Amino acid sequence: MANEKFVSQIADIETDFPQWYTDVVVKTKLVDYGPVKGTMVIRPYGYAIWENIQKEMDARFKAAGVENAYFPLLIPMSFMTKEAEHVEGFAPEVAVVTHAGGAKLEEPLVIRPTSETIIGHMMGKWVESWRDLPLRMNQWCNVMRWEKTTRPFLRTSEFLWQEGHSVYATGEEAEQETLNMLHLYEEFAKNVLCMPVLIGRKTEKEKFAGAVATFGMEAMMHDGKSLQAGTTHYMGQNFAKAFGVQFTGVDGTLKYGYTMSYGVSTRLIGALIMTHGDARGLILPPPVAPIEVVIVPIAQKKEGVLEACNALADRLKKTGVRAKVDDSDNSPGWKFNEWEMKGVPVRIELGPRDIEAGKMTVFRRDTLEKQDSFTLENAEETVKALLSDICENMYERAKTRMQSRIVNASSLEELLSGVDGGNFVRAGWCGERACEDKVKEFAQATARVLDEKNDLPTCVCCGKKAKHTVFFARAY
């Protein structure tokens, strides 16, 4: 990666956040635009983040007893129509294969926008008795949803994700798993992405097409807008009935199973960029940063400097830290800028005087603090402690920020002023779709999740008794 061209000019994060985002994702080489409109190429620096996300998430699934599998990309069009709400929600977005192998197909095939239908079909084949339950599977794959307006990572016609699908004998178990996976996502967001989230149930309007209930985790982006970062869905018997997922119970009678599903996608990369980034560019959470520590040699042509840098990198790698020496022939200043823009959590500067004094200069990306009092001897402990502290600081900083930007509203005007100010707005809601629609029309804000705490007495829209307290926000 020596001598890459890059331009450090990125738009101002405060005055033009959308352009800042585009500049950052392209100039740090996370992503590029594909030749087909709405598609993205995930470049090595971006894909390495996804690999770290996969590794951490997959370990959690395996620990929870979920097994990975792989289901076909192409789904018969007729499957989509078996669940009435599902087809209504997804049919307008699908890409359709009509020809293959030089001939027109008898039945058009859709590229999976999600796999409830085909997995339901297979589970219907596999499940026979209560002994086969629960059946809990996950797949890591690509999916496609034809979108009109696209942005890298946030909304692209093709994206990568995991989709977990389980079938249980009882609704209680399937509902419990829907909540368990929501909490798994929340823990992952906190400990791996250093990202605070709100979790909760979605309204009927915002739920997954075909679900009985959808739960989501929402994160606050730098501009105060919300990003849906993961969802879990309880399907009741909707898909089990559509695809004949039946089992013989302990009592010998035939029953339908209860299914649930859950997913997170490459959108998480967009989420962490817009949660943590600053005027200089990316700030990557250490657990997913492709490079956790970059070592920049000072006066690198002086005898012993590069050797000392490489030796330090080797020591750090041995303890599991992703370290890299930038031995390109760019100037130190250029390197500082580049790695700051690329969001590397820790930079170590090492020159002849440091080496002689047995010291190293350490810069942390989250606080922009530079310290030269660390000894080379204790580099491993120093770096480990620093990475852990950065993680905690990034989480706490984002959490404080989010919490300071949650306001209550008791009128539509207050709600509008709240979201205009870049806040999440808590407001009472009567539960009627008409009021939810009115909020959207009046304030361009949607119900993100229902708050567990139901303390606001009247509907922000109609003034009647509130059924729920809702987090409203503008959203990506």
Q: Which residues bind a second copy (CB under 8 A)?
A: 2-5, 32, 34-36, 39-44, 47-48, 50-51, 67-76, 79, 91-102, 108-109, 111, 118, 121-122, 125-126, 128, 131-132, 137, 141-142, 144, 146-148, 157-158, 160
Comparing CB distances to a second copy, the nearer of 39 and 237 is: 39
User: In angstroms, rounded to a whole number, what is the distance separating the alpha carbons of residues 273 and 269?
Assistant: 6
Closest CA to 348 of 387, 397, 319, 392: 387
Residue type, 89: G
Number of other CB atoms surrounding residue 422 within 10 Å: 16
- At its nearest, how many Å lie between a second copy and the CB of residue 455? 42
Comparing CB distances to a second copy, the nearer of 55 and 465 is: 55
- At its nearest, how many Å lie between a second copy and the CB of residue 325? 15
Number of other CB atoms surrounding residue 138 within 10 Å: 23
- At its nearest, how many Å lie between a second copy and the CB of residue 36? 5
User: In angstroms, rounded to a whole number, what is the distance separating the alpha carbons of residues 173 and 187?
Assistant: 21
Strands 198-201 and 346-350: unpaired
Number of other CB atoms surrounding residue 187 within 10 Å: 11
Comparing CB distances to a second copy, the nearer of 121 and 347 is: 121
- At its nearest, how many Å lie between a second copy and the CB of residue 458? 41
Distances (CA, A) of 437 to 45, 216, 426, 450: 41, 19, 16, 16
- At its nearest, how many Å lie between a second copy and the CB of residue 272? 18
Residue 412 · residue 443 · CB < 8 Å: yes
- At its nearest, how many Å lie between a second copy and the CB of residue 319? 18
Comparing CB distances to a second copy, the nearer of 43 and 399 is: 43
Comparing CB distances to a second copy, the nearer of 8 and 142 is: 142
User: In angstroms, rounded to a whole number, what is the distance separating the alpha carbons of residues 30 and 280?
Assistant: 16
- At its nearest, how many Å lie between a second copy and the CB of residue 105? 9
Q: Is 278 exposed, middle or buried (0-12, 13-18, 19+ CB in 10 A)?
A: middle
Comparing CB distances to a second copy, the nearer of 126 and 279 is: 126
Q: Which two tokens stand for residue 309?
A: 């840098």
Q: Which two tokens stand for residue 270?
A: 């967009």
**Size of the chain in residues:** 476
Comparing CB distances to a second copy, the nearer of 173 and 414 is: 173
Comparing CB distances to a second copy, the nearer of 150 and 417 is: 150
- At its nearest, how many Å lie between a second copy and the CB of residue 1? 9
**Three-class DSSP category at 350:** strand
User: In angstroms, rounded to a whole number, what is the distance separating the alpha carbons of residues 256 and 449?
Assistant: 30
- At its nearest, how many Å lie between a second copy and the CB of residue 121? 6
Comparing CB distances to a second copy, the nearer of 142 and 367 is: 142
Crossing angle for the helix pair 305-318 and 379-404, to the nearest 10 degrees: 70
Place of tokens 């996969």: 54
